C-alpha cells in the first residue's frame, strides 16, 4: 500500500534549516510542499510524501530522518500494520 502521509521537517537553527532545505529540495517531486513557518526557536516545513518514501528517508537519510515528524497517517494504513 502506497498511501500519502503528511510530514513536518523541523530545524532548530538557521544552519540546520539551510542544510535541511538542500536535502528536501533533492527529494524532487517525491516531496510536495504544503507550508513553511517559523515558530519560536524552530522552523517547520510541512509536506506530503508517500509512506514508502517515508521509510526510505528513515533508512537512507539520517539527517532528514532525525528532523522528520509524521503528522498524519490514514486509518487504512494504520489498520494494515495493526493486524
Q: What is the CATH number of the domain that holds 24?
A: 3.30.70.240
For residue 81, is pLDDT > 90? no
Domain for residue 17, yes or no? Answer: yes
Domain count, the chain: 1
Q: For 26-39, b where at least 16 C-beta lie within 10 A, e where not — what string? A: ebeeebeeeeeeee
Domain for residue 45, yes or no? Answer: yes
Domain for residue 35, yes or no? Answer: yes
pLDDT score, position 61: 93
Residue with cell 528517508: 57
Domain for residue 83, yes or no? Answer: no
Mean pLDDT of the chain: 85
Going by pLDDT thresholds of 50, 70 and 90, the confidence category of residue 51 is confident
Domain for residue 47, yes or no? Answer: yes
Answer yes or no: are the C-beta atoms of 1 and 65 closer than 8 Å. no
Domain for residue 60, yes or no? Answer: yes
At 9-24, the pLDDT tens digits run 999 988 999 999 999 9
Domain for residue 80, yes or no? Answer: no
User: Residue 60 belongs to what domain range?
Assistant: 4-74
Amino acid at each position: 500500500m502506497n498511501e500519502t502521509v503528511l510530514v513536518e521537517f523541523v530545524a532548530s537553527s538557521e544552519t540546520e534549516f539551510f542544510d535541511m532545505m538542500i536535502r528536501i529540495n533533492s527529494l524532487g517531486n517525491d516531496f510536495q510542499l504544503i507550508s513553511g513557518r517559523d515558530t519560536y526557536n524552530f522552523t517547520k516545513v510541512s509536506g506530503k510524501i508517500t509512506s514508502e518514501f517515508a521509510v526510505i528517508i528513515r533508512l537512507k537519510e539520517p539527517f532528514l530522518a532525525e528532523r522528520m515528524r509524521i503528522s498524519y497517517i490514514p486509518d487504512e494504513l494504520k489498520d494494515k500494520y495493526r493486524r
